[in-house]
Structure 1
Amino acid sequence: MASMYRPPRNAICASCYEGAKAIIAFFNDDEHGDADQGSVRSRGLTKLNSATKGLRDAWEEVKQMRCREEETKQRVSFLQEGFPAVWKDGIHTDIAVRPGTGPPVQAHKAILAARSEVFRHILAGDDDCKAPAGDSLSLPELTHDELSHFLAFLYTGALTAFTEERHLHALLVAGDKYDVPFLRRACEARLAAWVEAGNVLRTLEVAELSSSTALKGRPMGTVVEHAEQLVFSPEYEEFAVRNAGLCVEITATNTTDASYA
């Protein structure tokens, strides 16, 4: 009866297979029984104890993985409850970050320095960086809304579901300028998922501006795919004036693809 549950040999590792086989053999011996039933069972138990070591080790590893996973969840929860609350409530802020337009946003020097190597040097007043005047820092390339999104990411490590495409463009450029790799990757992933014929030129332009090779491939392929629709549009003419080098690259890519067609 027990033999019908024998697992395929290639479905599990060798140790687990031998352990499972020993268990089946043990129950088969128990079912059939004979004159030397005691010695058969003893041999079966010995074989079971040695062969199932792989199963026991695997189970212990699974339990350890679960403990590590739970510990990681608790750590993430602990951090998520701290920094976002500090950001939202503006607790003990010590620097005003000024955008190009709109009112300044209050922040913490320690957070800025921890998240960005560039900010660390600026706030330290290094020779290669201009130290801020007093307790303020100016980021003139960002609007007030863009700055708020940028700082929120430094505190929370996440983009909101409602972050607009234009904000993602500004955040990608800021992530490149101020050396925040995690922000760059988050923006690249979100923008790549949103690429379509209607926004591909804007996405390609911001990918070039931020030196994002990871993002550049997807819109480049979309431009080539919709070349007839895009190349003769007024938007492309404006794009070409600002991005002559990209237009040459698009033409070369389109010509190469056509030669293989």
Structure 2
Amino acid sequence: MDCCICSPMATVYRLPRNAICAPCYEGAKAIIGFLSKDEQEDDHGSVNSRVSRKLNGSTKGMRDAWEQVKEMRDREDDTNQRAAFLEQGFALAWKEEIHTDIVVQPGTGPPIPAHKAILAARSEVFRHMLSGDSQFKAAAGESFSLPELSHDELSLLLSFFYTGVLQQKVPERHLHALLVAADKYDVPFLRRACEARLAAAVEPRNVLRTLEVADLSSSEVLRERAMDTVLEHAEQVVFSPEYEGFAVRNAGLCVEITRALLDKQVSTTSAKAPCIQDHV
């Protein structure tokens, strides 16, 4: 029987002969369940909301789900408009140097003007640096230096502070520097953006450098992704020209790689052993 929802013939709703296929049924259940869970989280578990859901739960269907989806879409559009409004304003103030009150000096290249308020709002570490906290050894003033970043890397960092967007086609070495900076200056949002971009690009040719950066920035997500790639392409990685230099610089990581390879070998051997015994 044709499905009354997804079938090409589903043009007329005719009771009681309507039938629904398994994919549409499961999809409808999943959508309603997801939206009900979202509604519960929005209501914060209040007594009135629980009673209301208990009374009206039996009447909720795909029409209610569609109304909720439209409301979610409207909220998303509103959020995007507000984000664009804020982003454009902050970005314009930075690009045109409107009332900038501090200059940030990179390790190489010319300094870049910025706003103390933005730096302090984006990073607790910068807030202390700009307030002259002696613990961070950087007194407040009209300029301060980030010597570990090049001019291009500093520009990317400040651009992210003002827009919340990590630019497309950022060179891998710049992503490495930004991830380390995000860890050092405590910028979790930038950290997650860099981790996602780098994790998606891990392959045998760059896995050793990625593993180094993951270790330097204490990124467990990136570290796990890199280790999986090393194990999957062990021969190609271990016998590559870069591995010898990597081993000299990172004895601890080499120990981890060796142990992981041995664990994998033991697991593979153990998995094959019962099959051999059964065959005998």
Q: Quickly name the TM-score band, shorter chain normalised.
A: 0.7 to 0.9
TM-score after normalising by structure 1: 0.79
- Aligned 8 A contact 2:133 2:139 in 1: no
Instruction: Report the Cα offset of residue 149 of structure 1.
Output: 1.0
Partner of 1:188: 195
Number of residue pairs aligned between Structure 1 and Structure 2: 226
Matched, 1:146 2:159: no
Partner of 1:54: 60
Partner of 2:254: 247
Matches within 5 A, 1:1-261: 1-5=14-18, 7=20, 54=60, 58=65, 61-132=68-139, 134-261=141-268
The 3 A distance-change label for structure 1 pair 59 and 215 is: closer
Write out the 4+ residue segments of structure 1 that deviate beyond 2 Å after TM superposition.
5-13, 50-67, 129-134
In 1: Cα distance, 2:211 partner to 2:174 partner: 15
Q: Which amino acid aligns with 2:97?
A: G
Instruction: Report the Cα offset of residue 75 of structure 1.
Output: 1.2
- 1:161-195: per-residue Cα shift (whole Å, max 9, x none)? 12100000000000000000111111111001111
Instruction: Report the Cα offset of residue 209 of structure 1.
Output: 0.6
The 3 A distance-change label for structure 1 pair 5 and 138 is: same
In 2: Cα distance, 1:115 partner to 1:134 partner: 18
- 1:213-250: per-residue Cα shift (whole Å, max 9, x none)? 11001111111222222223331110111100000000
In 2: Cα distance, 1:106 partner to 1:70 partner: 33
- Between the aligned residues of both structures, percent identity stands at 64
TM-score after normalising by structure 2: 0.74
Which residues of structure 1 form unaligned runs of 5+? 17-49
> RMSD over aligned Cα, in angstroms?
2.4
Larger Rg: 1
The 3 A distance-change label for structure 1 pair 254 and 6 is: closer
In 1: Cα distance, 2:21 partner to 2:57 partner: 17
Q: Which amino acid aligns with 1:174?
A: A
The 3 A distance-change label for structure 1 pair 63 and 221 is: closer
Which residues of structure 2 form unaligned runs of 5+? 1-13, 33-55, 269-280
Q: Which amino acid aligns with 2:218?
A: S
